[in-house]
Amino acid sequence: MLFRVDPTSTVPLGDQVAASVRRAVADGTVTPGERLPAARILAESLGVNVHTVLRGYQRLREEGLIELRRGRGAVVTAGASPHRARLLERVREVVADARDLGMTEEELLLLVRAELSA
């Protein structure tokens, strides 16, 4: 389980942390039930602030990939399958690209809805 971030990248460090974990889940390196390193520990090994790692972890929780609890740490959820992680990666890519194209949220949602009802 090897995580790293690139401080020179324009991508926020917290997002990079989340992306690293998501990638690991996607390729099966990290499996459901497994415990991620404590935020402080990971922060030290990455050379970033604890808050930055915690932010990445929170993001992963919102995506349903991990559960966070005080005193227990970050545990990969049962539903965190490689398939799901890969889908999340692709959704993020699509959203990012849509944004780069100057698309509004509503426009993208319209596209998605159109495809859903097709």
Partner DNA sequence: ACCTATTTGTCCGTATGTATG
Partner DNA sequence: CCATACATACGGACAAATAGG
Using CB under 7 A, list all residues that contact DNA: 10, 12-16, 36, 38-41, 47-52, 54-55, 57-58, 68-74
Least distance from DNA to the Cβ atom of residue 71, Å = 3
CB of 91 to DNA, least distance (A): 17
Question: Least distance (Å) from DNA to the CB of residue 118?
Answer: 31
Least Cα distance to 16 among 45, 62, 56, 59 occurs for: 56
Q: How far apart are CA 42 and CA 116, in angstroms?
A: 39
CB neighbours of residue 90 within 10 Å: 11
- CB closer to DNA out of 16 and 26: 16
